[in-house]
Chain A
Amino acid sequence: MNETITARPISQKTIGELRAEERDWEANEVAQFLHKQAERRSDFFTLGDIPVKRTYTAADLADTPVEDIGLPGRYPFTRGPYPTMYRSRTWTMRQIAGFGTGEDTNKRFKYLIAQGQTGISTDFDMPTLMGYDSDHPMSEGEVGREGVAIDTLADMEALFDGIDLEKISVSMTINPSAWILLAMYIVLAEKRGYDLNKLSGTIQADILKEYMAQKEYVFPIAPSVRIVRDCITYCARNLKRYNPINISGYHISEAGSSPLHEAAFTLANLIVYVEEVLKTGMQVDEFAPRLAFFFVCQADFFEEIAKFRALRRCYAKIMKERFGAQNPESMRLRFHCQTAAASLTKPQYMVNVVRTAMQALAAALGGTQSLHTNGYDEAFAIPTEDAMRMALRTQQVIAEETNVTQVVDPLGGSYYVESLTTEYEKRIFDILEEVEERGGTLKLIQEGWFQRHIADFAYETALRKQSGEKPVIGVNCFVDDTPDPVIHTHPYDQTTAARQIARTQRVRSERDPVKFDLLLQQLVETARDPSRNIMPITIELVRAGATMGDIIETLKGVWGTYRETPVF
């Protein structure tokens, strides 16, 4: 361990001298001040319960080798995945949208693009997320309500009508049924004559965090992980610029976890996916450059920035040291970020704009590649056009007016941020070690280990809000009984289900039933052989007019379904 500071501009003093000086300051200036007025609390913690000191000095960096801080775009990428970051191009402004049918959401996409959005992000309705067709009994009342309904290729064509998919990247937030939408996207691209290697975008397809947190799953764990593996290997060979997975902490956090658990559990899932792909014989550098991540940006400003920096460092070390990656692109963590929906409130809802702006600034200072800012109406319903415009403008103010984009990693070298970054790194690796000691991620998902940690912190947070220990403006402090201005929430179009179902039934009636049955039989055979890749037959099926439900229901017959034992 370094006992002297090697980064010369900080200080020439030894660590011992710095610590002695800090003790002297505590005994004099601090003590005198405390004598006059005590601090607000005896101890201070981050939102994630990590104790923080009164202030930090160069001595707090004694455990951080300078090469671990390093430079942007260079291993271990603590300071950013790219050397020039926002000086070249600001993050992708990617507001999620989805409601009604493909046509309805297409209009919102075009509106957001006209407002200056630079990427597309798609939210699907619950039936699509869970693999049910719109006319399945479980879909009643849910078609196109919380996202867009997609059953067939025809829906996908309507969704992206008039949008050049070689020019704009498209993210799709979908998991257990993700590979089917990826197949539809590929067929759509082929029909339009696109070069598949020019398509850029992301499919979430992170099933493990579903079992942990978001709870959208269909099949048992083993075949579900196999599907993820198949997406990754297929894309590595056929869609060179496409991110076949978005390994996500966001939902772990929204389900209630601490920021530390969000970070550590996400990397635990990463390790499973990499190991699964390596088992196929594919080399790590063949697929790792396209692995992408998705994290929340919570309210604790510096903790979030430290979290992102630590995640990049941990990822780099895992990929290089554990998996033997040699290509630097395999070691640089790229992520999409969303501000924290669960931090937003119904009372005094316009305050949500301020909360979101603070979180978005932390995301930018943490070096995100892409950002969604939540609407002020998040605590009411899915967002209106007005709420999304305000959210997008929030990003634009940060990107265009604040100049935070001019310097890469402007908080690099901050004693506090660097110290917290290293603290996060240590704690993340401790948790990953514990996961391995306890038998690994898949075993612990089945035992509800992650789920219990998430539920514990969620419960703790609820109690802290109740006691006021965790202040929430408008909820447990600064409550204002004056009624808020009337809010106009996004209306649900009651004709949605009928319009959607009509198209699905038309597609079914127009397809060649003999060919379709043959392909379904091939799907079953492929599913039964875990060594085969499920993507090619799925592509053939959607091209031949298969619905998502056709594919999912057939595979339920092969693989069965998953039901969790809840822990609370």
Chain B
Amino acid sequence: MTQPIRVLLAKVGLDGHDRGVKVVARTLRDAGMDVIYSGLHRTPEEVVTAAIQEDVDVLGVSLLSGVQLTVFPKIFQLLASKGADDMIVVAGGVMPDEDVVEIKRMGVREVLLQDTPPDEIVQTLTRLVAERGER
């Protein structure tokens, strides 16, 4: 019996849009994953620290405030400085296409924007964890 996939879903910055992140949290929980939700208004430091302490497989960051190009460099820098480069980071929310390309270049593995079907989110995370293999 394999361990359930552990996921931290996080809201970073001042953004209060939490409809999507809560739908994702429920979707992943219903799919049998261990889901932790950070709640609102977290800093990159808080989120990365929690992800490492909770030993999650996936860190999902939801952003609808347009700050993706500020937040993700910080998150990857913090993950690297704490030796957690193997953390799978995914993003969700609303953002322009060119920003999707840019944050993927930084290391975000998948960007699941609005209207992504719940099953596809489950499949994507399952695939990413399988591709990473055992830790």
**Which chain A residues have a beta carbon within 8 Å of chain B's beta carbons?**
126-127, 129-130, 132, 138-142, 145-146, 210, 214-216, 254-256, 342, 345-346, 379-382, 454-455, 458-459, 462-463, 465-466, 472, 475-476, 489, 492, 563-566, 568
Flag whether B96 is at the interface (Cβ < 8 A): yes
Instruction: Contact check, B40 vs A459: say whether CB atoms are below 8 A apart.
Output: no
A287 to B71, CA, bound (A): 44
Q: Which residues of A contact B19 (CB under 8 A)?
A: 254-256, 342, 454-455, 458
Nearest B residue to A565 via CB reads B39
Instruction: Contact check, A566 vs B13: say whether CB atoms are below 8 A apart.
Output: no
Q: Which residues of A contact B25 (CB under 8 A)?
A: 568
A205 to B37, CA, bound (A): 28
A126 to B40, CA, bound (A): 13
**Cross-chain pairs A/B with CB under 8 angstroms, 12 sampled:** A126-B14, A140-B70, A142-B13, A142-B14, A145-B67, A345-B115, A379-B94, A455-B19, A463-B118, A566-B40, A568-B22, A568-B25
Flag whether B106 is at the interface (Cβ < 8 A): no
Q: Which residues of B contact A382 (CB under 8 A)?
A: 66
Chain B interface residue count: which class?
A: 20 to 34
Question: Is chain B's interface secondary structure helix, strand, loop, or mixed overall?
Answer: loop
A130 and B26 in contact, given A256-B19, A472-B115, A564-B39 (Cβ under 8 angstroms): no
Q: Which residues of B contact A342 (CB under 8 A)?
A: 19
Instruction: Contact check, B66 vs A492: say whether CB atoms are below 8 A apart.
Output: yes
A465 to B26, CA, bound (A): 16
A326 to B25, CA, bound (A): 49
Instruction: Contact check, B96 vs A466: say whether CB atoms are below 8 A apart.
Output: no
Q: What are the nearest 5 A-B pairs in CB distance? A: A141-B70, A215-B16, A126-B14, A568-B22, A466-B117
* Known pairs A142-B13, A142-B66, A215-B18 / 10 extra A-B pairs, C-beta < 8 Å: A126-B13, A126-B15, A130-B14, A145-B67, A216-B16, A346-B113, A379-B94, A459-B22, A462-B27, A564-B40
Q: Within the complex, what minimum Cβ distance (angstroms) separates A233 from chain B? A: 28
Q: Which residues of A contact B70 (CB under 8 A)?
A: 140-142
A50 to B66, CA, bound (A): 36
Nearest B residue to A139 via CB reads B14
Question: Is chain A's interface secondary structure helix, strand, loop, or mixed overall?
Answer: loop
Q: Which residues of B contact A345 (CB under 8 A)?
A: 115
Q: CB within 8 A of B65: which of A146, A210, A565?
A: A146
Flag whether B114 is at the interface (Cβ < 8 A): yes
Q: Within the complex, what minimum Cβ distance (angstroms) separates A85 from chain B? A: 34
A214 to B19, CA, bound (A): 9
Q: Which residues of B contact A138 (CB under 8 A)?
A: 13-14, 43
Q: Within the complex, what minimum Cβ distance (angstroms) separates A449 from chain B? A: 15
A380 and B94 in contact, given A141-B70, A568-B22 (Cβ under 8 angstroms): yes
Nearest A residue to B113 via CB reads A346
Contact with A along B3-17 (1 / 0, CB 8 A): 000000000011111
Q: Within the complex, what minimum Cβ distance (angstroms) separates A462 from chain B? A: 5
Q: Within the complex, what minimum Cβ distance (angstroms) separates A429 from chain B? A: 27
Instruction: Contact check, B26 vs A566: say whether CB atoms are below 8 A apart.
Output: no
A254 to B18, CA, bound (A): 10
Q: Which residues of B contact A463 (CB under 8 A)?
A: 118
A379 to B18, CA, bound (A): 16
Q: Which residues of A contact B17 (CB under 8 A)?
A: 215, 255
Q: CB within 8 A of B67: which of A142, A255, A379, A564?
A: A142
Instruction: Contact check, A215 vs B40: say whether CB atoms are below 8 A apart.
Output: yes
Flag whether B55 is at the interface (Cβ < 8 A): no
**Which chain B residues have a beta carbon within 8 Å of chain A's beta carbons?**
13-19, 22-23, 25-27, 37, 39-41, 43, 65-67, 69-71, 94-97, 113-115, 117-119
Q: Which residues of B contact A214 (CB under 8 A)?
A: 16
Q: Within the complex, what minimum Cβ distance (angstroms) separates A371 from chain B? A: 23
A379 and B114 in contact, given A140-B70, A568-B37 (Cβ under 8 angstroms): yes
Q: CB within 8 A of A566: which of B15, B39, B43?
A: B39
Nearest A residue to B68 via CB reads A141
Q: Which residues of A contact B97 (CB under 8 A)?
A: 380
Instruction: Contact check, B117 vs A465: say whether CB atoms are below 8 A apart.
Output: yes
Q: Which residues of B contact A141 (CB under 8 A)?
A: 13, 67, 69-71
A492 to B117, CA, bound (A): 30
A462 and B94 in contact, given A142-B14, A216-B16, A566-B39 (Cβ under 8 angstroms): no
Q: Within the complex, what minimum Cβ distance (angstroms) separates A468 from chain B? A: 10
Q: Within the complex, what minimum Cβ distance (angstroms) separates A315 from chain B? A: 27
Q: Which residues of B contact A381 (CB under 8 A)?
A: 66, 94-96
Q: Within the complex, what minimum Cβ distance (angstroms) separates B76 from chain A? A: 15
Instruction: Contact check, A475 vs B13: say whether CB atoms are below 8 A apart.
Output: no
Q: CB within 8 A of A145: which of B18, B23, B39, B66?
A: B66
Nearest A residue to B69 via CB reads A141
Nearest B residue to A563 via CB reads B39
Nearest A residue to B38 via CB reads A566
Q: CB within 8 A of A146: which of B18, B40, B66?
A: B66
A121 to B113, CA, bound (A): 28
A450 to B86, CA, bound (A): 39
Q: Which residues of B contact A139 (CB under 8 A)?
A: 14
A462 to B27, CA, bound (A): 10
A566 and B22 in contact, given A127-B14, A138-B14 (Cβ under 8 angstroms): yes
A212 to B37, CA, bound (A): 18
Q: Which residues of B contact A129 (CB under 8 A)?
A: 14
Q: Within the complex, what minimum Cβ distance (angstroms) separates A447 from chain B? A: 16
Q: Which residues of A contact B67 (CB under 8 A)?
A: 141-142, 145
Nearest B residue to A344 via CB reads B114
Q: Which residues of A contact B40 (CB under 8 A)?
A: 215, 564, 566
A138 to B41, CA, bound (A): 9
Nearest A residue to B98 via CB reads A489
Instruction: Contact check, B119 vs A466: say whether CB atoms are below 8 A apart.
Output: yes
A390 to B34, CA, bound (A): 45
Q: CB within 8 A of B23: which of A126, A462, A489, A564?
A: A462
A475 to B70, CA, bound (A): 29
A566 and B37 in contact, given A458-B22, A462-B27, A472-B115 (Cβ under 8 angstroms): yes
Q: Which residues of B contact A127 (CB under 8 A)?
A: 14
Q: Which residues of A contact B114 (CB under 8 A)?
A: 346, 379
Q: Within the complex, what minimum Cβ distance (angstroms) separates B42 from chain A? A: 11
A345 to B115, CA, bound (A): 8
A443 to B112, CA, bound (A): 35
A463 to B23, CA, bound (A): 9
Instruction: Contact check, B14 vs A459: say whether CB atoms are below 8 A apart.
Output: no
